[in-house]
Structure 1
């Protein structure tokens, strides 16, 4: 991101981010992007958030449509081959979103024979007891859960936590805290600005802004502490 008008990416309305009126965005990821931008000399009025998905975010970085992606981009061996990461800015776990009416579902073991929607087939390894259902998008899983077509929705906990907050009284987090996932701010491959962005994230944590944003946007995750960060001289890029 630079003061020349280029933009960060956002999501709509998945995980901790949500679309507001007149194309505005709000959420934990948006707060992170706004904080980083300000530290780089770009005021909030100079930002343009571009909606991206898991399938379009890498292309948006490559073609220059956006400068960085603070949109639930997991740091994995696979993603590190394509982009450079600053951060991580949050580490969460795989969790399950359950309908509030399913009072008897209190643990993963209670999912035996129940329908569980996922977008990532890898999550099916969590247990062989549920009747897994694959969907193309998180919003599809949400719709299935709300319509009663599935019992739960398995995803990284920031995603179901955001949906639970948008549907009070209808959905709840199971609190399974399964496999941990760290999320970074993605920049174009070999971007030399990653260490500086990592240092900015450290400042956001140190001055209390990070914790306040998490409590405001994802109160279900307030148990989540700041993620461990690499030295600001390092990057997440692999060779």
Structure 2
């Protein structure tokens, strides 16, 4: 496990102040971001910034969503308080790079566990099971996968969603990629695309937003199983075990269910029970 201490600059300032005087203040080793206070460990965690219900950065600078709650709970079990967490945006296309470069300690960002991804990074969990679906304009839904062939699908760069639908269900469907789900939603509203495809949990979060209510609806197609895992550096079995233990505790003490109801309840989204943990060393 790679917990980040206070920055080198803050440590140097503290050392100089202790040399100069025996009554120095602790103010200089307080990080201005999420880097911690120097009195304990801190964590840098990757999340999504634009996924309502899962990982969202609000205009006020707060972070909300189920993934944020899971990450905060895990951090607490690792001895890190919420104020010592630095949140880093983890776009789908950058998640592996963030872990391989060491820019984050772990990632909780609707990160589906796949064999291909496990060649580059490791996972703990899963902590949630989603299913791929379509979000469409209200009244324009489809009733079966064959009808998807006539649609232009949108998903985000680095996500497997649109390609999965194209390869397994609708080879004639047109694919359109944008950098974020919010851009896809704008394209859906304007008519540039016919459907946004990704996990039903993500789609439900968008559909439930006040400004979107009545505009969009889920097709109700379970096109795949998407087990969400916590992305960690490849081969870090110690961190994997610690996170798995934290996930189990979150489920057992009721915090997991509380987070589900808090984040998905307003969307009338019925999540499955917590999945069995499969990612072990």
Native 8 Å contact 2:41 2:84 kept in 1: no
More divergent stretch after superposition (143-152 vs 23-32)? 143-152
Q: Residue by residue, what CA displacement relative to the aligned partner does 1:8-50 show, whole Å, maximum 9, x if unpaired? A: 1111113621111332210010000000011111111111101
Q: Which runs of 5+ in 2 are unaligned?
A: 4-39, 157-161
Please say which of residues 57-66 and 31-40 is displaced more in the overlay: 57-66
| TM-score, length of structure 2 as denominator length | 0.75
- How many pairs does the alignment contain? 232
Give the secondary-structure state (helix, strand or coil) at the position aligned to 1:195.
helix
**Is it true that 1:230 corresponds to 2:230 in the alignment?**
no
Query: Equivalent residues in 2 for 1:131-142 (5 A)?
Result: 131-137=173-179, 138-142=181-185
> Residue in 1 aligned with 2:251?
205
> Contact 1:57 / 1:69 at 8 angstroms: preserved in 2?
yes
User: Any conservation in 1 of the 2:152–2:176 contact (CA below 8 Å)?
Assistant: no
Match of 1:95 among 122, 133, 152: 133
What are the superposed Cα offsets for residues 185-226 of structure 1, whole Å, 9 maximum, x if unpaired? 011112121011111101111122112212221234324211
Tell me whether 1:116 sits opposite 2:161 in the alignment: no
SS in 2 for 1:193: helix
Shift of residue 112 of structure 1?
Answer: 5.4
Runs (4+) off by over 3 Å? 104-112
Richer in helix (by share):
2
1:105 aligns with 2:148: no
Contact 2:43 2:80 survives alignment (8 Å):
no
User: Who is 2:109 aligned against?
Assistant: 71
Deviation at residue 157 of structure 1 after TM alignment = 1.6
Name 2:84's counterpart in structure 1: 46
Matched, 1:179 2:201: no
Structure 1 gaps, min length 5: none
Indicate yes or no: 2:38 matched with 1:21.
no
Where relative contact order (Cα < 8 A, 6+ residues apart) is larger, the structure is 1
Mean alpha-carbon deviation: is it higher for 28-37 or for 185-194? 185-194
- Say whether the 8 Å CA contact 2:130–2:200 is kept in structure 1: yes
CA distance in 1, matches of 2:172, 2:259: 34
Tell me: CA distance 1:130–1:205, structure 2 relative to 1, closer, same or farther (3 Å). Answer: farther
Q: Distance in 2 between matches of 1:13 and 1:196?
A: 28
Change (3 A) 1:70 1:223: closer
What's the CA shift for 1:115?
3.2
Q: Is 1:35 the equivalent of 2:81?
A: no
Separation in 1, partners of 2:172, 2:256: 36
Distance in 2, matches of 1:41 and 1:86, equals 18
